[in-house]
Amino acid sequence: MIATPSRSDAGASLERLLPRLRALLVAARLWARGGKLQAKAVDQALDEALLELHRHHVARIPVYRRLALDAGVEDVPDAATIARELMVTSDLFKSYDPAWLTERDFEALTDWLGTLFVREPAVSLEGVSDLADWRAHLRSGGVFVGISSGTSGRPSFVPRDHATLTALRRNGAIYARATYGNLFPTNPDCLLLTGDGIALGIQAAARGLGAGAEHVHHLDPAGVDGGWHEAIAFLAAASGAERPVLVFGTPPLVDELCARAEADLRRPPAPGSAVVTGGGWKTVRATTPAELLGRVERALGIPPAYVVDVYGATELNAYLLRCPHGSYHVPPIIRAVVLDDLLAPLEGDDVTGLLGFLDAFALSYPGFVIPGDVARVVRRACPCGLDGQAVVGPIERAPEHETRGCATALHAGAT
């Protein structure tokens, strides 16, 4: 049986985990550069990391400990047991009483958040009047709350500590630019069609893409014409200086940018510019993905080969990049799991079902998550040069899960 240490010393049980995480990041960097994935060694390292993380969670996260005790698997022999018994749906992160939000009972909301978090949030809530204040007070105590709001309007809250927030911000950079080094321009200007901040996973991804860029512009919904006037002016300035641009946003926002650019941008961005989309279409799909590629090329002069889509979830600390052959490659720092209708894992190198992930970098909250999407996952070498797991074909929302709404939430000024 795993002993229950003081939750105030959350870093103590990470001593054995951190070297394994560093080894996974090294493997991800080599994999991204086209090196052959040493599948057995990487799987073993990831298994070991997941088992250490399980022990860490059981010792310090009350809701996870209760789940493990109820399933009779406080001690697990392998990562397969975690996938079979201990995965959680995204509903866990919205399992609070909605009356706490409407009645602004932030004490109760904080107590609930503490059941998901690696330690009890030790913050003063004096003067907290709304959600933004609550999150700001939590940040002062080292609790960084990510938000995903679905069509129900009931947000999910994902609590991260400093270490997990660092993983969210930096993990993608470990493999994204190495994988697509010939796509991402060198020292580009970054036009980020997201609000500034890190509340949403897509905002954290934007922050990572813009890190180190000399010129960065975030779409400001409070600006003139919803911020589009300034966005087009930023593009025009980069074009005039012949600086390549990296554009990042949800497909609907990139579509809107193209519409504005077709009307107002007199000169396309410099050669070598690229577009990265993420967050999906949500409930909006006025343009098909193929049509969007064509529109980007017409409006911005950026060919389809320089447009990359990203799959991610607020509960994850990594994302999947779609290669030119249409595969969303799973970086070897997480593991994709496919489950049947009874939430039992399916085995094989080509399976379709409910998509889940085992995230070894979710150090502060239960990170064995089922986001609520249905997809096909294969394990094979791809013509792009990457091997390992990949999601191929369409990624669709499971019927019983609400549509994610972070594309809408971006306009709510979340930070």
- How does pLDDT run across 61-117, given as a tens digit for each residue? 999 999 999 999 999 999 999 999 999 999 999 999 999 999 999 999 999 999 999
For the record, the structure tokens of 63 come out as 């809701």
pLDDT score of 199: 46
How far separated are the first and last CA of the chain, in Å rounded? 41
The pLDDT assigned to 77 comes to 94
Distance CA 170, CA 173 (A): 5
Look at residue 69 in the predicted model and tell me its pLDDT.
96
Q: Could you tell me the CA-to-CA distances from 137 to 10, 127, 253 in Å, in that order?
A: 20, 9, 31
CB-based contact 339:86 (threshold 8 Å):
no
pTM: 0.84
Count Cα neighbours of 30 within 13 Å in the Cβ-side half-sphere.
12
- What does the pLDDT read at residue 396? 87
What is the pLDDT at residue 323?
A: 86
Q: Residue 293, CB half-sphere, CA atoms under 13 Å: how many?
A: 10
- The torsion region of residue 226 among left (phi > 0), alpha (psi -120 to 50) and beta comes to left
Residues of the chain with confidence (pLDDT) below 70: 1-13, 149-152, 177-185, 195-212, 280-287, 400-415
